[in-house]
Structure 1
Amino acid sequence: MQKILIFGNAAAGKSTLAKKIAKKQGLAHLDLDTLAWLATSPPQRKRLSDSAIEIDNFTQQHSSWVIEGCYSDLLELLTSNNAADHDNVKNKAFANEIIFLDIAINRCITHAENRSWEAHKYPSKQAQDDNLAMLIDWIKAYETRSDTFSKQAHQQLYTRFVGKKNIITSID
């Protein structure tokens, strides 16, 4: 059973890689963007415990999967690094492989500028494009932030993981 986590900066190519792996290996695919946020304007994060329940439901329904996102706090729920701290995740369906997309910031910006409409995130391509300047600023801050979305948090997750792991620094 394959259980793969993919993480990195915004527009690093996480969704594209996850879809490719899911199709090739016949895995269920979960984009954490679909369960990390409340449907509010402006968007607000759900409580970690609420997202954990949704992740648990997904992993109970699928024995093999690829899950991707930039949320190290949610991804950590799927590693055995701190299993005792995650009693709210009943299934304990831990990843057996992680992939860290450590893509150059300028490449992520190019990906963001050229991405097709993400209908699961935006009501229209125009709404997505209206958000582009904010997304580019977010991408640029990846190496200086210290939050759950930061390069620092991703490097810590990668370092602590025990199992098969890969860093990819170039992707098209």
Structure 2
Amino acid sequence: MRVLIMGNSGSGKSWRARQLAGLHQLRHLDVDTIYWVPGMVAVARPAYEVLADLHAFVHSHADWVVEGCYGDLIEAALPFCTQLVFINPGTDACMANNAQRPWEPHKYASKEEQDSMLPFLMKWVGEYDVRDDTCSYAFHRRVYDSFQGAKREDAPPSGDAS
């Protein structure tokens, strides 16, 4: 089993990936851990290094779950997956989840440092539907819709258009 999970920040990707990893003994990669320079907040590593680490991970493990909001990296791993999952609970749910996010020591030196980034994160998450970057709804939608393999979308409940 090789599962890719994508969605907005706060959509539940990490929770779902940890759940799958535990249930099926899968290796788990949170793409944030290879995307950012270790110990530095919001400083991206060179794209070729990130792609090399992603390819090394998917090639060195028989069964895995990879999750992230970076649609271009999800797209790069598509040829190696057995299932694509697009989690899209709506912007309001993502905003609420980010406001409650526990400290992530693999990303931030302290809870205070993480909390200092929250206003930027909330603005960025709130713009998911209108951004045009590789982490946007439009990019995720294109990746999902064009993928011909096994896939599942967890969409917002009916009536929630956010």
Q: State the TM-score, normalizing by the size of structure 1.
A: 0.86
Q: Which residue of 2 aligns with 1:90?
A: none
User: What secondary structure is seen at the aligned counterpart in 2 of 1:12?
Assistant: coil
2:91 corresponds to which residue?
105
User: In structure 2, what is the Cα distance between the partners aligned to 1:63 and 1:3?
Assistant: 8
- Given the alignment, which residue of 90, 93, 96 partners 2:82? 96
8 A contact 1:14–1:69 mirrored in 2:
yes
| Aligned counterparts of 1:126 and 1:35: Cα–Cα separation in 2 | 22
After superposition, give the CA deviation of every residue in 1:55-111 in whole Å (9 maximum; x if it has no partner): 12212321100000000111111113xxxxxxxxxxxxx111010011111111110
**Does the CA contact (< 8 Å) of 2:17 and 2:66 recur in 1?**
yes
Deviations 1:96-149 (A, max 9, x none): 101001111111111011111111111111111111111110110100000011
Percent sequence identity is 34
Which position in structure 2 is the counterpart of 1:43? 42
Alignment-mate amino acid for residue 120 of structure 2:
M
Partner residue of 1:30? 29
Please say which of residues 45-54 and 5-14 is displaced more in the overlay. Answer: 45-54
- TM-score relative to the length of structure 2: 0.91
Which residue of the other structure, out of 114, 118, 133, is the alignment partner of 1:147? 133
Contact 1:48–1:74 (8 Å) recurs in 2: no
- Pairing 1:1-172 to 2, within 5 Å after superposition: 2-39=1-38, 43-80=42-79, 94-170=80-156
Q: Which residues of structure 1 form unaligned runs of 5+?
A: 81-93
For 1:157 and 1:101, the matched residues in 2 are separated by 13
Q: Distance in 2 between matches of 1:26 and 1:38?
A: 28
Cα distance in 2, alignment partners of residues 41 and 65 from structure 1: 27
The one-letter code sitting in structure 1 at the alignment partner of 2:33 is T
Contact kept in structure 1, 2:4 and 2:78, CA below 8 Å: no
Which one-letter code corresponds to 1:75 in the other structure? I
Q: Structure 2: any 5+ residue segments left out of the alignment?
A: 158-162
Tell me how large the CA RMSD over aligned residues is: 1.6
